[in-house]
Amino acid sequence: MSFPPVEEQLALLTRGVEKIVPAEELRRKLEQSLRSGRPLRVKYGIDPTGIDVHLGHTVPLRKIRQFQELGHQAVIIIGNYTALVGDPSGRDQTRARLTQEQVENNARDYLNQVGKVVDLSRAEVVHNGDWFSAMSFLDVLELCSKVTVAQLLTREDFAKRYAAEQAIFLHECLYPVMQAWDSVKVRADVELGGTEQLYSFMLARDLQRDQNMPQQIGMMTPILVGLDGVRRMGKSLGNYIGIGESAYDMMKKFMQVPDAVMRMYFELLTDIPLPEVDRLLAGHPKDAKLTLARHVISGYHPSPEADEAADRWQREISQKELPAEIPEVVVPGTALEQGRIPAARLLQVTGLSPSSSEARRLISQGGVSLGEDKVRVETHDTPIDVTPGLLLWVGKKRVVRLSIGPN
């Protein structure tokens, strides 16, 4: 096995990495591997707790991919056992635990998605249940004897919860221990993860030393902020771009992102050289954002699709042309009286408003309009002449084409 020069590897690998502990050791490990021709074993663990992999997850995954491209060995750990515990990291509450069955379904799905970023054909994929399920209680006790409670409580998340008098369950305390033990089992040289993983990464080093093994390096990638530009990207916050989403959906979401986060997105989500990024950001923000979006999207969709999504956004959103596809909604003929229907009622039967009260609100606030010219509907009881093909708008984005059905 041969590798590119160490300096070159370092330049690529340290981009967009927030913290490397211990910082000096990465170079040493790379030098060693270059000399011996032995690839580094790069570990990344994921707990199959949800289903949607989003761009936030891709930050460490992309890093794995870079390691792979340099010739190193990716080791993906499916935390089917740790998922039963729930990672307390960064949490101010105990996570809900999952059943075995859920975990297994999720795991399969996860790999499908992860495969879009990491080259799974060259990666080792292991389940940590393989070793944890084989451990006896005595083994667990033995493992626990390496960790002190005081140590656990130095973690910020636990310390905070402890101070706030919130519950910390014993099984949660075991989580970092398990994660660290994974590193021992796979003989990790490098572990990737978010900054909140620091404690587990360090614990892994302790356990590895205890087993007379080389100690791993922790590489921590920053938390990617979500579409709101403030909070971390996450499913529960609803501010994420999933990698399974359509090109156009991703496009729309990218264009909503606050300008201020663009640099971070470029750095963490693309390979565009940083000087080039600076040049882009010096230009019009909208163009920079389009470039960003196209680059990222083309990682998950064929690039003609990414281009098409960008064009479509320009046409429909930027230039306010009518969308190419307007969903058609059937108005039941029985709801009409002499071809007409009160405006508020129309919003309800078309499903654009869940309730009549909501419909009235929308209308009174000027959010409802008709036709290509978007003529505003003034009052909730305005009779609307429903003709097939009539456009009905709610707000700026939602529009449907009406047709009349038999009932």
Question: Residue numbers of the site for RNA (CB under 7 A)?
Answer: 165-167, 228-229, 238, 255-260, 285-286, 289, 316-318, 320, 348, 354-358, 360-362, 365-367, 394-398
CB of 225 to RNA, least distance (A): 12
CB of 51 to RNA, least distance (A): 21
CB of 1 to RNA, least distance (A): 45
What is the three-state SS of 144-187?
HCCCCHHHHHCCHHHHHHHHCCCCCCHHHHHHHHHHHHHHHHHC
**What are residue 126's DSSP bridge partners?**
77
Question: CB-wise, 28 or 320, nearer to RNA?
Answer: 320
Question: CB-wise, 205 or 345, nearer to RNA?
Answer: 345
22 preceded by a cis bond (ω within 30 of 0): yes
Question: CB-wise, 207 or 377, nearer to RNA?
Answer: 377
CB of 240 to RNA, least distance (A): 12
CB of 252 to RNA, least distance (A): 8
What residue ranges in 201-309 does DSSP mark as E strands? 217-221
Contact 330, 315 (CB under 8 A): no
CB of 259 to RNA, least distance (A): 4
Taking Cα atoms as reference points, which of 159, 19, 15 lies closest to residue 91?
A: 159
Question: CB-wise, 63 or 294, nearer to RNA?
Answer: 294
- Please classify residue 308 by burial: count the beta carbons closer than 10 Å to its beta carbon, then call 0-12 exposed, 13-18 middle and 19+ buried: middle
Cα-based distances in Å from 68 to 157, 269, 274: 33, 17, 22
Question: CB-wise, 2 or 319, nearer to RNA?
Answer: 319
What is the β-pairing status of strands 190-194 and 41-46? parallel
Question: CB-wise, 78 or 394, nearer to RNA?
Answer: 394
CB of 281 to RNA, least distance (A): 11
3-state SS class at 51: coil
Question: CB-wise, 28 or 286, nearer to RNA?
Answer: 286
* Residue 31 CB neighbours (<10 A): 13
Cα-based distances in Å from 390 to 82, 273, 384, 396: 55, 49, 10, 16
